[in-house]
Structure 1
Amino acid sequence: MNEPLDENTDTANAEAQAPQTERTRPPRKLKFNLIVAGLLVLIIAVSVAAVVLFRQAETDGTVAAESGPVAEGPLKTYATGALAKLETHAAPRPIEDISFLDGEGKTVKLSDFKGRVVVLNVWATWCAPCKVEMPTLANLQKGYDPQKVLVLPLSIDKAEDKAAVEKELKLSGGLPVYMDSEIQPMSKWGIVGMPTTIILDKNGQEVARLGGEAKWDAPEVKALLDAL
């Protein structure tokens, strides 16, 4: 018959096993480092995915614009025909002033153009719909004195792509070059897709905007601008 182990033997065995248990338990610092590393990997993965999606939008030539424009206020009657997607406001809205470069590399501000109606078109050379509508914007400008109604095509292309911007504008009818490589319109003006065109009154306030391509030399556009 086996003899039962006495209390001293149990204690000795427990003490002998204790160091082994401690050695197999991961230190707290190691656990913390593993958690931090996992979070960093997740953040990097999300960032890479965002860049890939944006570059894919560049490749496709457009970024999906916000749908469901609302026409209200005194200008809502002009949201028809070529301007069917026009979003008009119940009252003029202030727009944040930003600085950008003209064709000569000089810094100008949006507020510099107060005193005239401005058709502010945000575009890029990699945006296919932008390039399609650009000739109609050039035709629109030909019907007005730039000191009274100005078509302002603001490119968000990279600074090193200035030659491509100049070439596209020249081919489309000779509109002036304006560039904002910092892509401020997206954050400052709430633009979510291109092309987007914002109509400013003579006080430099936004009265309407249109997300997507449009035929800007259509009669209804002239009627809208003449009402301002």
Structure 2
Amino acid sequence: MKVLIVEDDSSIAANLCDYLEASGYGVDVASNGNAALRMALAEAWDAILLDLSLPGMDGLTLCRRLREEAGRDTPVLMLTARDALDDKLAGFVHGADDYLVKPFSLKEVGARLGAMIKRYRGQVATMELRFADVRLDLSTMSVERAGRLVKLPPKCLHLLRILMQSPRRTFTRAELESQVWGEELPDSDTLRTHVYTLRRALCGPGEADVIETLHGVGYRLVAGGDDAK
């Protein structure tokens, strides 16, 4: 999933980036309102984290223009130091889906972000993904196979979540590269290396491979692993 962070404080933006990337999100950052509006309209985002006090265009105006002028319903979580009730109400009036006051906990940002995206996608009922004996807890971004904890680096975690959201669907290499790395596409061997790392982590002794390679096409999850290559 892709998240746009709109924040002019570089230290806050960096902390958010590090935390969300470690949780498996694809992240990009805009440091002023005008650039943020262009980026928000240029591609599809799963959510936007939006500061209110921005150079160029304030967050309220940006959110209003997204909703009223561009007709975008991308979920927006406003992050701001303004804690007065009128400020919060103004955020919702201008189209925000949720509102969090600084200073905030990164864990709370992650929890609110995940819940907001699930509401938008109609996935409120489930907090986990399961395929065969693999379980991905979406609230903690932890992975288990047959009860065994599986530790994954951020990109592999993101890759697994994409595959588990549409089991047995074949994802092309181009799709996976775009969803995991965004516009900064990796070299030709990077995806292959991450799939190999993911396989090694998921497959313990005696466990079948759940990732199938369709040579020249892409990858998919398979239930029994009988056809996995």
TM-score range for the pair, normalised by the shorter chain length: under 0.3
Greater helix share, 1 or 2? 1
Higher RCO structure, 1 or 2 (CA under 8 Å, sep 6+): 1
* TM-score when normalising by structure 1: 0.25
